[in-house]
Chain A
């Protein structure tokens, strides 16, 4: 079992819709959770982080964390073609850092 699991996609949504990206993790002691966006041929770019159960909103992005279910999600409202990228979920527990394999998102104009 991988430490962080993501559906590889591609997830296709029309422009203006809500994109929902999901991630599960296996280490119950995990403390910090991150979402990175990676455009093709570029490096990962941090877009959100969350430490506590519940929701955290930043502009069009909302991160959701449920530690009991070991589940993290990222919602992108009003999706734009420029949001088309691979989204990586990352989990941190003290000195351990794990990345998921990423979900490819396509936003169709």
Chain B
């Protein structure tokens, strides 16, 4: 079985540009998580979906961040406008019924 798929793997953009990160969860998993990881703050949960519905978005840093899950096999995390402090590795993870999570390879975002 394929694991969690994320794209792009690397993204370099300029401040003010829109960034869209994509995730395909493991087939059959009904929970999806977006995380951000930096050296300073560690791994932070941004938002969590269960059965395609956002359950907890309290970790989304501000209105510049938005996430959608239009169906069970696809989710996006959008940053508009991007800022240099958004530079981090963004992970998507999925699980079955909020159990153990399986992480994708991550997207390394650099905002210049």
**Chain A interface bracket (under 10, 10 to 19, 20 to 34, 35 or more):** 20 to 34
- The residues of A that contact B50 with a CB separation of less than 8 Å are 95
* Closest-CB distance, A43 to chain B (whole angstroms): 4
- The residues of B that contact A36 with a CB separation of less than 8 Å are 103
Q: Fill in one digit per residue for B54-93: 1 if any A CB lies within 8 Å of its CB, else 0.
A: 0110000000000000000000000000000000000100
Given the interface pairs A95-B56, A99-B42, the reply to whether A34 lies near B100 with Cβ below 8 Å is yes
- The residues of A that contact B48 with a CB separation of less than 8 Å are 95, 97
Let me know if A101 and B103 touch, CB within 8 A.
no
Q: Per a CB cutoff under 8 Å, which of A43, A90, A98, A101 touches B104?
A: A43
- The residues of A that contact B33 with a CB separation of less than 8 Å are 97
How many chain B residues touch the partner (CB < 8 A)?
20
Does B112 lie at the interface of the complex (its beta carbon under 8 Å from any beta carbon of A)?
A: no
- The residues of B that contact A101 with a CB separation of less than 8 Å are 42-43
Rounded to whole angstroms, the CA-CA distance of A90 and B99 in the bound complex is 11
Rounded to whole angstroms, the CA-CA distance of A58 and B69 in the bound complex is 35
Q: Fill in one digit per residue for B15-36: 1 if any A CB lies within 8 Å of its CB, else 0.
A: 0000000000000000001010
Does A17 lie at the interface of the complex (its beta carbon under 8 Å from any beta carbon of B)?
A: no
Given the interface pairs A49-B100, A92-B98, the reply to whether A99 lies near B56 with Cβ below 8 Å is no
Let me know if B42 and A46 touch, CB within 8 A.
no
Q: Per a CB cutoff under 8 Å, which of A32, A46, A95 touches B55?
A: A95
Let me know if A44 and B100 touch, CB within 8 A.
no
Given the interface pairs A32-B99, A46-B101, the reply to whether A102 lies near B42 with Cβ below 8 Å is yes
Would you give 10 A-B contacts (Cβ < 8 Å), ordered by A? A36-B103, A43-B104, A43-B106, A95-B48, A95-B50, A96-B56, A99-B42, A99-B43, A99-B44, A101-B43
Interface residues of A, Cβ cutoff 8 Å to B: 32, 34, 36, 42-46, 49, 88, 90, 92, 95-102
